[in-house]
Amino acid sequence: MALVDWCEKGFIPDFLTRVGIRRLCAKRLQEQLEGDWQDRQLRFLDTLRASAVAIETKAANEQHYELPPLFFVNCLGARLKYSSCYYPHGGESLDQAEVAMLKLYLERAELKDGQAILELGCGWGSLTLWMAENYPNARITAVSNSAPQRLFIQARCVERGFKHVQVITQDVNQLSLEPSQFDRVVSIEMFEHMRNYEVLLNRIASWLKPQGKLFVHIFCHKTLAYPFETDGDDNWMGRYFFTGGQMPAFDTFRQFANDLTVEADWKVAGTHYERTSNQWLETMDANKSKIMPLFEEAYGSDAKLWFQRWRMFYMACAELFGYDSGQEWLVGHYRFVKSPASAGLEIL
């Protein structure tokens, strides 16, 4: 912990901090693969089935979503995409990589103008506003756990004249919607904050029309699923940035197939998230003079400490997803369809 304290105080150079993070990644893999790891995976899935849909939803707001929006304006790209971007050619700017991933969503989710679309966990509105811009005849409903995010997106909609977007603030545990009203449900890096996928997926199935589909983007490990706990010396991430979250495995969703089943899935190498996180860090450092007053407002006398913690957070994400050339931790895309029974079809 002394080394972590020194990192937080800025006493350790970035390159050594990154070396330490890579060592922690290796330690995590070793611990997760010790003994009968497959049995441990099954037991973890059982804990998910016994859990609430989501836990620590207040912590997620406090740690990310209720910071001043201008902080994210000074870290993220122009469209404020707070999730992995996509670099099809490798040399894209952050703004270009945001658009590249958004375009990929439209293709893989099979989105079309005129659809009724629900976005679960809309962040600062990158996908919601992108869909509104490209699909003027769609009916778009966005759900966030954060009131500041709702107000931010609503203001952007007013600025751009988007009248076909509704934004709801709601804890997903209490989210209740009319059945069979959406052609598509989309969710970008929200499911990592969820626990009981069985209940959540069944609820989403009920909100979809018979031929409706769900598209999900998550970060994941290629084979391992595990929680981010808040105790222990090496759980800095769980304590400060991901309380109540989990790392799904790429095939985790297939273990909860019931009313929804996976129609297609894709792996996006972790190197895309590595590059995204490094560009966030570069942008944050370049805008330090703009960010520090925001942090003084949010964190008071701990503003300098939290500026460094956020730098460490971006470095941790970059090193995690860049580990083993992006082949261990990566991004998963999934398109779900309703099972025949839940779609009201006859099973032959």
Whole-number Å distance between alpha carbons of 213 and 15: 44
Residue 267's φ and ψ, nearest 5 degrees, are: -105, 130
Residue 64 has pLDDT above 90, yes or no: no
Average pLDDT over residues 154-180: 94
Among 322, 328, 337, residue whose Cα is nearest residue 276: 322
Least confident of 15-29, 92-106, 228-242, 245-259: 228-242
What pLDDT is stored for residue 258 in this prediction? Answer: 87
What pLDDT is stored for residue 60 in this prediction? Answer: 53
Kindly report the CA angle at 210 between 208 and 214, in degrees rounded to 5?
A: 40
What pLDDT is stored for residue 137 in this prediction? Answer: 98
Radius of gyration of the chain (CA): 20
Is residue 236 within 8 A of residue 292, CB to CB? The reply is no
Residue 308 has pLDDT above 50, yes or no: yes
Domains belonging to the chain, first-starting first, are: 2-338 (3.40.50.150)
What pLDDT is stored for residue 82 in this prediction? Answer: 95
Whole-number Å distance between alpha carbons of 338 and 266: 19
Is residue 165 within 8 A of residue 132, CB to CB? The reply is yes
In angstroms, the Cα distances linking 241 to 20, 28, 213, 228 are 18, 17, 31, 10
What is the band of 98 on the pLDDT scale with cuts at 50, 70, 90?
very high
Q: 6-51 pLDDT, tens per residue?
A: 999 999 999 999 999 999 999 999 988 988 999 999 999 999 999 8
What is the band of 191 on the pLDDT scale with cuts at 50, 70, 90?
very high
What is the band of 344 on the pLDDT scale with cuts at 50, 70, 90?
low
Residue 63 has pLDDT above 90, yes or no: no
Residue 229 has pLDDT above 80, yes or no: no
What is the band of 345 on the pLDDT scale with cuts at 50, 70, 90?
very low
What pLDDT is stored for residue 62 in this prediction? Answer: 56
What is the band of 238 on the pLDDT scale with cuts at 50, 70, 90?
confident
Whole-number Å distance between alpha carbons of 78 and 99: 10
Whether the pTM exceeds 0.85: the reply is yes
What is the band of 202 on the pLDDT scale with cuts at 50, 70, 90?
very high
Q: 106-131 pLDDT, tens per residue?
A: 999 999 999 999 999 999 999 999 99
Taking the CB of residue 24, how many other CB atoms lie within 10 A of it?
Answer: 15
Residue 232 has pLDDT above 60, yes or no: no
In angstroms, the Cα distances linking 229 to 115, 236, 320 are 39, 9, 17
What pLDDT is stored for residue 61 in this prediction? Answer: 47
What pLDDT is stored for residue 2 in this prediction? Answer: 77
- Structure tokens of 141? 């409903």
DSSP for 124-181, written as a single string:
TSHHHHHHHHH-TT-EEEEEES-HHHHHHHHHHHHHHT--SEEEEE--TTT----SS-
Residue 341 has pLDDT above 70, yes or no: no
Average pLDDT over residues 43-66: 74
Residue 227: which residues within 8 A CB-CB, separation 6 or more?
44, 238, 245, 246, 247
Query: How many percent of the chain have pLDDT more than 70?
Result: 93
Average pLDDT over residues 332-338: 97
What pLDDT is stored for residue 280 in this prediction? Answer: 98
